[in-house]
Amino acid sequence: MATDCKHCPLRRKDLFAPMTAEDVASMQRFKVGELVVDAGTPILMEGSNSPQLFTALHGMGLRYRHLENGERQVISFVFPGDFLGLQAGVMGEMGHSVEATTKMTLCVFDRRELWTYIKADPERGFELAWLAAVEEHFLGETLTTVGQRTAMQAVAWALIRIYLRLEASGSDGGGQFRFPFKQRDLADALGLSLVHTNKTIAQLKSRQLIGWEGDLVQIPDLEALAEVGLTTLNRPKTRPIM
Amino acid sequence: MATDCKHCPLRRKDLFAPMTAEDVASMQRFKVGELVVDAGTPILMEGSNSPQLFTALHGMGLRYRHLENGERQVISFVFPGDFLGLQAGVMGEMGHSVEATTKMTLCVFDRRELWTYIKADPERGFELAWLAAVEEHFLGETLTTVGQRTAMQAVAWALIRIYLRLEASGSDGGGQFRFPFKQRDLADALGLSLVHTNKTIAQLKSRQLIGWEGDLVQIPDLEALAEVGLTTLNRPKTRPIM
DNA sequence: CGAATGTTTGACTGGAGTCAATGAGGGTGG
DNA sequence: CCACCCTCATTGACTCCAGTCAAACATTCG
């Protein structure tokens, strides 16, 4: 029994653009169902052309690519509200894989209906571009991190960004958040080795800039950590939800 | 005297999706003029909300971001056919700056008209998303390069990608291309120091994998260079043009 | 010709990678 | 209930790729 878009828990969060009743109704028609997957389940494959598109409702996951030699680059972490499969939806081929890191609930859309949906409601096309632009924006920032920040700056930057993202979508706050990923995932996201990432985290801990036990990350002083990460505490901009 | 979209030299190239006569006509109405800028001219600024959007017609440029400490990350090279200002167009704020590296000619669109344009022709909204997805796809690949490839692999990858892009849009081919950028630009794009980039290029030269004199880059054996770059010779996928 | 810009080299340094071993929990099956 | 295993976190020792510093060249240009 799927969640009714009308009662979607995400829509009300600050991060997401408000929708009219008609918007909700048309989205509801587009939605074909809900998918629940266990942790570790692959959702989309690089190079594939999935017949289905998704919006993450609960749970978290990873977007990643593999190099020919087996090295993995984590493109981004997937949080509730993120849209999955856009590349397959418009280009016909995914540039990365997506897999669930925790148990996840996903709203499912039919790729074939996407064009019908947009034709009926041109604003959805605009919003699709908007979503893609948000991703592009974030990837540019990530690229800058991996290319220019030191390990210490990169880890600090990443934790700040993740905290702000989760805070804005309402799942966490108060200077701490649940982070179900492993140090290996963070290392692969930042282009660092696991060992060096671990030592960097240890330093941040010993400097009292963060706490990290199990899946709970704490940031006692956001300003201080942001400064280490050469970044600011700008809240993520509002975005649409599909 | 601006180029008529009907006679646009880009549209016919393999890289770009075919357009119907109506598509061209509606694009023509959206286009408000042409802008010619000298090398070195800033076109869009990070953080700004430009009233104008552009499509590069002739010439090349750079997208880049600066870190608080002054380090520069080149997000991507701008080639003919690339759309500039999408983030400002849909999100209201650019995540990077764009500047001309050579003299450039740009088709100019009015940001305020974008929504009108899409409403009148929903397919344009879809194509806008398509363009954004192409960028996202490429940024993911770049991120993987900067995060996981060695300097040698990264330089080889970049030259292969640039060659294929230019070949597909018809400006170069035959195993060589004009590259008006400096080694500094390539270094900043790959997250490498200028010196190390230079030494890596010297190695590729001495191994006869590339030639690079002035603005002419030659790749005598594409397969061989692609192998060094841990990549393949997949041609860029067709994309729309705005 | 001097000044600027960009390329090339050499010498040295150091941040991050690699290798390897130890710890710390959490499952699970006998 | 506990020994064993598996995954993940942690630490130390050592290596090396890439960064930094600095100087020499090459071209172009006013």
Domains in chain B: how many in total? 2
User: In chain A, which residues have their Cβ closer than 8 Å to the Cβ of B124?
Assistant: 125
- Calculate the angstrom distance between C1' of C1 and CA of B182: 27
Question: Which tens digits make up the pLDDT trace of B167-200?
Answer: 999 888 899 999 999 999 999 999 999 999 999 9
The share of chain A scoring above pLDDT 90, in percent, equals 93
C-alpha span between A147 and A73 (Å, rounded): 13
Q: Tell me, what's the pLDDT at B94?
A: 97
Q: Is B238 among the domain residues?
A: no
Range of the domain at A87: 5-140
Q: Backbone dihedral region of A143: left (phi > 0), alpha (psi from -120 to 50 degrees) or beta?
A: alpha
* Non-local CB neighbours of B197 within 8 Å, separated by 6+ positions: B151, B155, B183, B186, B187, B190
Q: CA–CA separation, A78 vs B145, rounded Å?
A: 21
Q: Are residues B112 and B190 in the same domain?
A: no
Q: Is B239 a domain residue?
A: no
Average pLDDT over residues B97-121: 95
In a shared domain, residues B91 and B202:
no
Does residue B1 register a pLDDT over 70?
no
Judge whether A119 lies within some domain. Answer: yes
pLDDT score of A219 more than 80: yes
What per-residue confidence (pLDDT) applies to B18? 94
Average pLDDT along chain A: 96
Q: Could you tell me the pLDDT band of residue A170, with boundaries at 50, 70 and 90?
A: confident
pTM for this prediction: 0.96
Please check whether residues B16 and B87 belong to one and the same domain: yes
**Average pLDDT over every residue of B24-30:** 91
- Å from A111 (CA) to C19 (C1')? 47
d(CA B88, CA B37): 20
Strand order in the sheet with B61-66: B42-44, B97-100, B61-66, B72-78
- Of B89, B123, B140, the residue at which a domain comes to its end is B140
Q: In terms of domains, do B106 and B157 share one?
A: no
Torsion from C-alpha of A149, A152, A157, A163, nearest 10 degrees: 160
Which bases in strand C are touched by protein, i.e. have an atom under 7 Å from a CB? 6-11, 15-20
Query: Quick one: B151 and B132 in the same domain?
Result: no
Q: Are residues A110 and A154 in the same domain?
A: no
Phi, psi for residue A132 in degrees, rounded to 5: -65, -40
Q: B84 Cβ partners below 8 Å, 6+ apart?
A: B43, B44, B53, B54, B55, B56, B78, B98, B106
Q: Is residue A136 less than 8 Å (CB to CB) from chain B? A: yes
- The three-state secondary structure class of A142 is helix
Please check whether residue A235 lies inside any domain of the structure.
no
Q: A196 beta carbon < 7 A from strand D?
A: no
Task: Flag whether pLDDT at A4 surpasses 90.
Answer: no
Q: Is the CB of A202 under 7 A from strand D?
A: yes
Q: Is the CB of B148 under 7 A from strand D?
A: no
User: pLDDT at position A153, please?
Assistant: 98
Judge whether residue A191 has pLDDT over 80.
yes
CA of B88 to C1' of C20 (A): 51
A47 lies within 8 A of chain B by CB = no
Are residues B218 and B156 part of one domain? yes
Residue B235 lies in a domain: no
* CATH number of the domain residue A187 falls in: 1.10.10.10
Confidence of residue B40 (pLDDT cuts 50, 70, 90): very high
B104 and B155, same domain (yes or no):
no
* CB contact (8 A) between residue A139 and residue B140: yes
Q: Provide, in whole angstroms, the distance separating residue B148's CA from nucleotide C16's C1'.
A: 13
d(CA A4, CA A24): 9
Is B64 within the bounds of a domain?
yes
User: Where is the domain boundary, A112, A140, A168?
Assistant: A140
φ, ψ of residue A65 in degrees (nearest 5): -130, 150
CATH number of the domain encompassing residue B109: 2.60.120.10
Residues B135 and B154 in one domain: no
> Same structural domain for residues B176 and B112?
no
pLDDT band at A134 (very low <50, low <70, confident <90, very high): very high
pLDDT-derived band at A63, boundaries 50, 70, 90: very high
pLDDT digits (tens, 9 = 90+) for A90-99: 999 999 999 9
The pLDDT assigned to A1 comes to 58
Q: What is the pLDDT of residues A99-119, one digit of tens each?
A: 999 999 999 999 999 999 999
Examine residue A201 and state whether it is found in any structural domain, yes or no: yes
Residue pair A170/A14 in contact by the 8 Å Cβ criterion: yes
Residues A158 and A209 both lie in one domain: yes
Please say if the pLDDT value at position A171 is more than 90: no
Sign of the alpha-carbon dihedral angle for B96, B102, B103, B104: negative
Query: Chain B within 8 Å of A125 (Cβ-Cβ)?
Result: yes
Domain boundary among A92, A120, A140: A140
Share above pLDDT 90 across residues of chain B, in percent, rounded to a whole number = 93
B58 and B177 co-located in one domain: no
Task: Tell me if A240 is assigned to some domain.
Answer: no
